[in-house]
Structure 1
Amino acid sequence: MRLDIYTHLFPPGGYMDRVIELVPDKGTVKRWVTLPTLWDVEARMRMIDGFGDYQQVLANTMPPLEQVATPEVAAELARMANDGFAELCAKRPDHFPAFIATLPMNNPEAAVKEIDRAVGMGARGVQIFSNIAGKPLDLPEFLPIFDRMAHHDLPIWLHPARGQAFADYKTEAKSKYEIWWTFGWPYETSAAMARIVFSGLFDRLPNLKIIAHHMGAMVPFFEGRVGPGQDQLGTRTSDEDYGALLASLKKRPVDYFRMFYADTALFGSASGTRCGLDFFGVERSLFASDCPFDPEGGSMFIRETIKILDELQVTDAERHMMFETNARRLLRL
């Protein structure tokens, strides 16, 4: 079985219509409505059937609720999304053996309650974004959410969030050429990972499990910077005592970065996949396609990612770990 642990779908049950009403940029809606496998469950299942022994874990799609809704409305929408996914997975476990819960991250108290409720309905983890409407994840207000996930011993899926309004240069008002997505999203994920590492969160919660989307983003390629480079933390800074922070950590920074899990959603990059496996190891790497956001409407990234994993110079047992057994262990399926 090939178990795809990161695919996006609008939860059934009216959620998509509610979000469309709230999204200020209707340009994003244009893409949604022309991508049936993003919202049509029957179309999605037909696509899945074309890949044989293949199943999908479901996650909500963009936008993060905290970007479009008030704390009260975000909590309502999270409940709607999780109810829709729970019902779908219960009805079609042959296609969708698990779902990832949506959280109202601008309402941390409600988010903790929703974690418990969603896990009780079968959620095998939660999805959070690399920033919460511009706030970093290591703020104290979000700590109860990480505490709760460590209590449940279920993973957090870390998804990047950055838009066109985040300019590439201080002299400009917006990012051009979709640089905010191509290079901005990997930076977002990497920055969030660093904030988690240096906040001491892994020391506080050593069993915390976080899946960094897109094969850990920039981190594997920049192993030298997060390794020997950050072994020198503080030597480039005069206004904060990062040397004391470094001394307070129980491990080297690079060893904390290796505590993340990574998925293979790299849009068909064989070299990127090998780089990520070199850094995280087979034991912390899981098959994911990021379906359905490809030029063919959903099937291309699945097909290309499977091909890359099939051609990797690994043992059959290691390939099986990435395709299925790592996910079953991590998600406790």
Structure 2
Amino acid sequence: MNTRREFLEDTAGAVAGIAFVGCSMVSAASAQAQARRREVVVNGRRVKTVDVHAHCAVPEAMALMGRKVEPQTLLMSQASDRIRAMDEQGIDVEALSINPYWYKAARDVARELIRIQNEKLAEACAANPDRFVAFATVALQHPDLAAEQLEEGIKKYGLRGVSVGGSVNGEELSDPKFHPFWAKAEQLGVLVFMHPQAAGAAADLQSRLRGSGGLENAIGNPLETTIALSHLIFEGTLDRFPGLKICAAHGGGYLPSYGARSDAICVTFPDRCTKALKKKPTEYLRQLYYDSIVFTPEALRHLVAETGSSQIVMGTDYPFPWTRTSVDHILGTPGLSDAERVAMLGGTAAKLLGIKA
């Protein structure tokens, strides 16, 4: 882990010469007035839309950790760019989340880093309260500290939930060491947004995911979420903390598409299911939440069939451009009722995040 001395030495020259992205949205008011805002309507009714999957970086934190930025994320560098994109796509509110999670930082470094991030997220939301809410960040590598940071993020900074990775330095989130964090999340009743990170399954399979196709992202990201959710189910974490509200990115990875195999494994090979669960593995899918980033109408309809329409919330993966049509994806998927579309577009997320409808 990075010590405080290494942290300061490594980052002393990082501020200059790096194009940072961030949540500097204080100057966004004029941009809102200039851009024409798309209004989303379902059966004649104006619908408030909420995007639960919107990436953001805090420049001060990125500088401290000496991180450079991928070119495509430069869209995040100006509040006007972000709000203009939201207006064009018909997004009323974004729930901002930060990734990477800095899970290798030593305790004192992590404490300061998370404070900076959560303070800046709170400032960004306060500057544009009608357009932004945010997920707190926490240092899960220090579970007791993470529980404290979560409570501080919600109660002191007014953040609406918490974002986490799918694993922490090779350790599964179902490990008992993380129980203090899960207990605090359940106690506070906040949404936990789970998003994979490069240090997860993609890193474990690095040699096999090399080459053309961006497999570390295309396969590695949904695989990380699939593994994380499976451990939370099979290790009994969801039984221990039944009140948890977890939202899995990318439609929950592969688990909703192949969950029946998880049911079958416990019937066919009961000795491999060593924890007594209170229900079938697939039944837990209906107590989790999922973003809508599954790309096709057929995939969205299947996700609805496996998890229930009440468990799906809209995500765009902003600023990455492959889901610019998230609103139209939901509007254009056949077989959904008006009520289901309204819920997915923003109704469910608004309830989970405390956003006024």
TM range (shorter): 0.7 to 0.9
Distance change >3 Å, CA 52–CA 180, structure 1 → 2:
closer
Contact 1:264 1:286 in 2 (8 A): yes
Contact 2:192 2:247 in 1 (8 A): yes
Amino acid at match of 2:354: R
Amino acid at match of 2:151: D
CA distance in 2, matches of 1:117, 1:204: 24
**Is 1:154 matched up with 2:176?**
no
**Is 1:183 matched up with 2:219?**
yes
Displacement of 1:319: 0.6
Secondary structure of the equivalent of 1:157?
A: strand
The C-alpha deviation readout for 1:168-203, integer Å capped at 9, x for no partner, is 56xx7x733332221111111011101100121121
Name the counterpart of 1:326: 348
* Among 196, 199, 212, the residue aligned to 2:232: 196
Displacement of 1:243: 4.8
The C-alpha deviation readout for 1:208-243, integer Å capped at 9, x for no partner, is 111111111101211331233444343xxxxxx435
Amino acid at match of 1:37: L
Name the counterpart of 2:82: 44
Pairwise CA RMSD: 2.0
**Is 1:6 matched up with 2:76?**
no
Displacement of 1:48: 1.8
Contact 1:155 1:210 in 2 (8 A): yes
Name the counterpart of 1:311: 332
* Among 18, 22, 31, the residue aligned to 2:64: 18
Name the counterpart of 1:238: none
**Is 1:85 matched up with 2:121?**
yes
CA distance in 2, matches of 1:53, 1:8: 14
Name the counterpart of 2:38: none
What are the within-5 Å matches in structure 2 for residues 115-264 of structure 1? 115-120=150-155, 121-163=157-199, 165-167=203-205, 175-177=210-212, 178-234=214-270, 241-245=271-275, 248-264=276-292
Secondary structure of the equivalent of 2:75?
A: helix
TM-score, scaled to structure 2:
0.79
CA distance in 2, matches of 1:165, 1:53: 33
How many equivalent residue pairs? 303
Displacement of 1:317: 1.3
What are the within-5 Å matches in structure 2 for residues 61-76 of structure 1? 61=99, 63-67=100-104, 69-76=105-112
* Among 285, 293, 298, the residue aligned to 1:271: 298
CA distance in 1, matches of 2:296, 2:127: 34
TM-score, scaled to structure 1:
0.84
Name the counterpart of 1:105: 140
Contact 1:7 1:58 in 2 (8 A): yes
Name the counterpart of 1:26: none
Distance change >3 Å, CA 278–CA 288, structure 1 → 2:
same
